[in-house]
Amino acid sequence: MTTTLRDVRSTGWTTTEVRDAVVLFLHGFGSNEQDLSSLAPALGLDLPWASLRAPLELGNGGAAWFEITTPGVPDAAPVEAATAAIWAWIEQNVDPATRIIPVGFSQGGLMASQLLRTRPERVIAPVILGGFVLGATQPGDESLRENLPAVFWGRGAEDRVIAPVAIARTTEFLPAHSSLIEKVYPGLAHGINAAELDDVRDFITAHLGAEVVSGA
């Protein structure tokens, strides 16, 4: 697994300018860095963003953050290695004073939660879409339990991709370690719809201030 992650970035991205926050899009298993970047205009946030490519190449243009062994119960070591790879990218490309808003779908949603659970002081308003949390204890968990930062967790009511054991684990973990906003969307399978994007935009805006929204 390489620790040099490929990416696509918003126009005008700079590695040295201090911003209140930047958005990191983290795609799901079998997708790539072009996928979630399409969410940027839909969210309408006037923030720099980057969409990262996961380090495990699957062929046919797809990538993954880690291999799927037991569905919903990933091995901790490869997840933690992927987490370290994301932090290495952040250290190379984001000013240390700028906070990270991770927006991840499916496997990328787990990675968004990993950023929060490893360096909670660096993360704000993490968004987990159709994802779940790792079962292994992480370095920032005790801080999360004490401070209860805001987290958005959205998923489809008809999602049959994420294993029930993963949903159960996340349902137990997040309320104890965050000020959770949980949304379940009727009729939605393993995907993202317009209602969810509206809720994500409102969630991020509420925690950064209305000035980050284009035209506000």
Give 10-residue mean pLDDT values along the chain (216 residues). Answer: 79 79 96 93 90 94 93 94 97 94 98 98 97 98 98 97 97 98 98 96 85 41
Task: Check residue 19 and give its pLDDT.
Answer: 81
Task: Check residue 2 and give its pLDDT.
Answer: 44
Task: Check residue 210 and give its pLDDT.
Answer: 42
Task: Check residue 3 and give its pLDDT.
Answer: 56
Token pair of 143 as six digits = 């801080």
Token pair of 133 as six digits = 């949390």
Task: Check residue 13 and give its pLDDT.
Answer: 87
Task: Check residue 211 and give its pLDDT.
Answer: 40
Query: Measuring CA to CA, how many Å separate 8 from each of 32, 93, 166, 200?
Result: 10, 12, 30, 21
Task: Check residue 84 and give its pLDDT.
Answer: 97
Going by CATH, does the domain composed of 7-208 fall within 3.40.640.10?
A: no
CA–CA dist 178, 161 (Å, integer) = 25
Quickly list DSSP for 150-212: EEEEEEETT--SS-HHHHHHHHHHHHHHSEEEEEEETT--SS--HHHHHHHHHHHHHHH-GGG
0.85 surpassed by pTM: yes
Task: Check residue 55 and give its pLDDT.
Answer: 95
CA–CA dist 153, 127 (Å, integer) = 6
Task: Check residue 7 and give its pLDDT.
Answer: 95
The residues facing 21 across adjacent strands are: 99
- Going by DSSP bridges, is the β-strand pair 49-52/7-9 parallel, antiparallel, or unpaired? antiparallel
Query: Measuring CA to CA, how many Å separate 46 from each of 84, 127, 167, 195?
Result: 28, 17, 32, 20
